[in-house]
Amino acid sequence: MNRQLWFAICLLVAGLAWAQPKTLPAYTNLGVSTGKAGGSLTLALASAPQTFFYYGAIDAAIQNLANQMFDGLIEYNLANYQIEPALATRWSISENRIYTFELRRNVRWHDGRPFTADDVVFTYTQIVANPEARGGDAANFEGVRVEKLGDFRVRFTLPKPAPAFIHYMRLPIMPKHKLLPFSQEGGKPRAEINTAWPTNVNPEEVVGTGPFRLRSYTPGQQVTLVKNPNYWKRDAAGNPLPYLDQVQYLIIPDSQARVAQFLAGNLGQINITGAEFPDLKRRETQGGPFRVVQFRALFGSPPHIGFNYNAKNPELARLFSNSEFRRALQFAVNRERIIEDVYNGLAERASYGVAPISEWFYPEVVRLQGRYDLNAANAALDRLGLARGPDGIRRLPSGRPLEFTLTYGSNSAVFSAIATILQNDFQRVGVKVNLQGILAANLLATGRGSDWEAILLALGDQPDPELRTPIWKPGGALYYWHQATQPTTPGGPPQFNNFLPWEREIYDLWERAASTTNFTQRKALYDRWQAIAAREAQVIMIAKEYAVGAVSNRYGNYIYSLGVIPGYNPLVLLFQR
């Protein structure tokens, strides 16, 4: 044996002695047991990665991969979504706006360089707060001062209290020694950071602290990750994690093809939809070598119907901005049937921006949203003076028939089906709906434009309502259904004169919640908001789909993961039997 190798071994032993590993909870309630090291797993990516730099694009593929290659300062508990230490071992909050983090010692980047406070400061100042970084988060870090207080201590000073700020600490930390040449600190224009680690980068360059590191990328076909032998997590029994030696991602754009590859045994695990559940579950009961499991997830996007309060047709705009009208139509939305027939029973009633299992969920919304009742819908529409014409369609005050266009994603089986059911039920209360299918990829853009009347859209739930401020706070960038409230210039104040009275109320609730740090008080404010949203039928929420996954029997310790949420990574616990 040569001297270099001896030296390396000594270093390793010394490193282990000094290491500061995190031992994961036992998670017995999730069915987790001590796994076996070795083996490999093949997963699917729905699209080819656009870059290997997490902050270089908003791209589901790199979000998936980054969860395996990088870590944030904090992460979620896999069972209850409580925040736990990750690269930070502990932290303190003073004056509600000064966050001080103690960093984990002896964590190494994949290339062996030590992880220090410099990397954290670099990541947040040069990348996250960089307004030109395409996947950055500049808006939430405006005025935030990030300082190094020592090699393993970092302080964030906020201009004002922001109770959801801690959630941003899930963002993956990047290696300063690799990315400095692309940064402003390294002498480059700010936009240059986006060119770091393109997909043809040498895999050796892409280093993180995560459980796996990049080994290779074959364009359009697959990404291969290999185990990081020096990872800083341990299982409850003290064994090093991750268990798996290798994770391969096949690029399979079509969901049917993913199911096929899973059934053929080429994929170890897939996420599926409620529509696909019965077929796969039946195959399982007939002896298929896999398990199909359903979970209630914190994330995911429940669809809603948005009405354009500023529709081009002034008569429709008046109706759409009238809560009475939206409530009337809400009575004609048969959520039970949609859950039954579209989701195969694998969905539940939804609230606004927060999942039913979230601690922020206000259970009363289900009652306030009301139930399917065509008589109530008809009565309410009659009260609005919308009498039926001879063809059964109601008439607007001008005498024109009450009809509007409902825009939906034509290439989504779920959206098409919901649209068809809605059209049918609205017709029964004398409201004619013209369906307009567009590519699901263009839905949000269409909604943010002015050329629509009603739309079927799905926006994601987050663990803290604060993270969805742009959607639910009147005047926000994604408060698309009432665009007259939005600022005339980006960054300017909302147009308060166009607010409806209850919108003003919601706005004030959000303002107060944003600077309240006491959980109980915040919860009360957000409960109140959800109650108003439901009462006014701000938008008509439809249903929240359960998360469904299928996993081959070759693997143990399976916990569902959406894959793209930073700070939620159960893959380290998965092992091959």
Which parts of 182-211 interact with other proteins (CB under 8 A)?
Answer: 191, 194-195, 198-200
Radius of gyration of the chain (CA): 26
Which parts of 137-166 interact with other proteins (CB under 8 A)?
Answer: 137-140
Q: Provide the token pair at 214.
A: 């990049």
Q: Of 86, 171, 165, which Cα lies nearest the Cα of 122? A: 171
Q: Given the complex with other proteins, which of 110 and 281 has the nearer CB atom?
A: 281
Q: Are strands 403-409 and 432-438 parallel, antiparallel or unpaired?
A: parallel
Q: What minimum distance in Å lies between the beta carbon of 549 and other proteins?
A: 15
Which parts of 485-514 interact with other proteins (CB under 8 A)?
Answer: 490-491
Q: Given the complex with other proteins, which of 78 and 346 has the nearer CB atom?
A: 346
Q: Provide the token pair at 382.
A: 């009659």
Q: Is 438 in the site for other proteins (CB under 8 A)?
A: yes
Which parts of 373-432 interact with other proteins (CB under 8 A)?
Answer: 405, 407, 410-411, 413, 416-417, 419-421, 423-424
Separation CA 193–CA 413 (nearest Å):
38
Which parts of 319-338 interact with other proteins (CB under 8 A)?
Answer: 334, 337
Q: What minimum distance in Å lies between the beta carbon of 313 and other proteins?
A: 11
Separation CA 21–CA 29 (nearest Å):
23
Q: Of 539, 339, 328, which Cα lies nearest the Cα of 430? A: 328
Q: Provide the token pair at 150.
A: 């020592």
Instruction: By CB under 8 A, name the one of 132, 147, 324, 359 that touches other proteins.
Output: 132
Q: Is 468 in the site for other proteins (CB under 8 A)?
A: yes
Q: What minimum distance in Å lies between the beta carbon of 337 and other proteins?
A: 5
Which parts of 42-101 interact with other proteins (CB under 8 A)?
Answer: 42, 47-48, 50-51, 56-59
Q: Of 170, 110, 155, 132, which Cα lies nearest the Cα of 55? A: 132
**396 close to 315: Cβ distance less than 8 angstroms:** yes
Q: What minimum distance in Å lies between the beta carbon of 315 and other proteins?
A: 15
Interaxial angle between packed helices 323-331 and 374-383, expressed in degrees from 0 to 180 and rounded to the nearest 10: 160
Binding flags for other proteins, 341-380, as an x/- string (CB under 8 A) = xx-xxx----------------------------------
Q: Of 569, 41, 12, which Cα lies nearest the Cα of 270? A: 41
Q: What minimum distance in Å lies between the beta carbon of 456 and other proteins?
A: 12
Separation CA 556–CA 124 (nearest Å):
36
Instruction: By CB under 8 A, name the one of 11, 237, 257, 379 that touches other proteins.
Output: 257
Q: Given the complex with other proteins, which of 25 and 288 has the nearer CB atom?
A: 288
Q: What minimum distance in Å lies between the beta carbon of 433 and other proteins?
A: 10
Q: Are strands 98-103 and 88-94 parallel, antiparallel or unpaired?
A: antiparallel
